[in-house]
């Protein structure tokens, strides 16, 4: 069984002081759980610079929440992968909030993945269907096309830098998490798709669940063998909840 990977996606939240407290808590948690759990935190861009020092040589992985699809130039407000890479170990790409609010297509997601990998960052690719798509029986088809669009042409050698997060849009920030069975079923489907695209390298990709994951439901998701970890929004901003989730992951055997 792979090492569970728990990642806090802080979105556009936290003051610098709060960010530092959360990062310090993540560092001490990672010291407590040792190699049993991999922990990642993805703060807003400006906090990456000071938090690089807070995280220091600990095992906590520091990540960005996005990166530009361009290298540099007249793109006001954007931040390129090469600007982030000195601070960030990974970046989230294709989050449904980016797809919805910034009209990011699978093609843009694919370009961003290429930029992030070229700059030396790992990538957490987010995929997931909307409520209407699930109700219409199209969840697998949507996730399949997001994977195809994002991973088209990816080298097998890049796959070791990839994590996939299954985040059904209807579960994000709603308090209505998917069931562990649904998460496991989609994780298995994503695994099949990965292996069919990149061969056995796809077996090593961690597949996370995200969407209203919290301290009350984390253990049940982590008990599903097909789910390799969690991408956590709201609950990652609360030190006691995030701590309980990491501890639940450390108990998975």
Is there a catalytic annotation at residue 167? Answer: yes
Residue nearest to ligand PGA (CB): 233
Q: What are the distances in angstroms from CA 5 to CA 27, 39, 49, 154, 208?
A: 14, 6, 23, 23, 8
Catalytically annotated residue among 95, 97, 104, 133: 95
The two structure tokens encoding residue 197: 């695209």
Angle subtended by helix axes 139-151 and 180-198, to nearest 10:
40
d(CA 204, CA 98): 27
Is there a catalytic annotation at residue 95? Answer: yes
Does residue 212 contact residue 243 with C-beta atoms inside 8 Å?
Answer: no
Number of Cβ within a 10 Å radius of residue 72: 10
CB of 42 to ligand PGA, least distance (A): 9
Residue 42: beta bridge partners? 9
Which residue matches tokens 């935190």? Answer: 41
Give start and end residues of each alpha helix (H) in the chain.
Answer: 16-33, 45-55, 81-84, 96-101, 106-119, 131-135, 139-151, 180-198, 218-223, 239-250
SS3 of residue 61 by DSSP: strand
When the beta carbons of 92 and 201 are compared against ligand PGA, the nearer one is: 92
CB of 57 to ligand PGA, least distance (A): 27
List residues binding ligand PGA (CB under 6 A): 9, 167, 172-173, 210-213, 231-235
Residues 6+ apart with CB under 8 A from 136: none
CB of 199 to ligand PGA, least distance (A): 29
Catalytically annotated residue among 17, 167, 225, 247: 167
d(CA 108, CA 43): 22
d(CA 109, CA 9): 18
CB of 212 to ligand PGA, least distance (A): 4
Residues annotated as catalytic are 95, 167
């Amino acid at each position: 069984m792979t090492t569970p990977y728990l990642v806090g996606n802080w979105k556009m939240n936290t003051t610098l002081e709060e960010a530092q407290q959360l990062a310090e808590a993540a560092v001490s948690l990672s010291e407590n759980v040792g190699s049993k759990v991999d922990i990642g935190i993805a703060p807003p861009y400006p906090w990456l610079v000071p938090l690089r020092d807070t995280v220091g040589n600990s095992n906590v992985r520091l990540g960005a929440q996005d990166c530009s699809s361009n290298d540099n130039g007249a793109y006001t407000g954007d931040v390129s992968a090469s600007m982030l890479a000195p601070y960030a170990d990974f970046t989230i790409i294709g989050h449904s909030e980016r797809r919805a609010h910034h009209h990011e297509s699978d093609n843009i997601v694919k370009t961003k993945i290429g930029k992030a990998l070229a700059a030396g960052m790992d990538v957490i690719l987010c995929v997931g269907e909307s409520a209407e798509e699930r109700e219409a029986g199209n969840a697998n088809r949507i996730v399949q096309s997001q994977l195809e669009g994002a991973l088209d042409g990816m080298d097998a050698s890049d796959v070791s830098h990839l994590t996939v997060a299954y985040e059904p849009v209807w579960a994000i920030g709603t308090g209505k998490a998917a069931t562990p069975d649904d998460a496991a079923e989609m994780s298995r489907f994503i695994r099949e798709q990965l292996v069919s695209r990149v061969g056995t390298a796809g077996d090593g990709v961690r597949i996370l669940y995200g969407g209203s994951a919290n301290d009350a439901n984390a253990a049940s998701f982590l008990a599903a063998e097909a789910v390799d970890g969690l991408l956590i929004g709201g609950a990652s901003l609360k030190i006691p909840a995030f701590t309980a989730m990491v501890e639940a992951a450390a108990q998975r055997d």
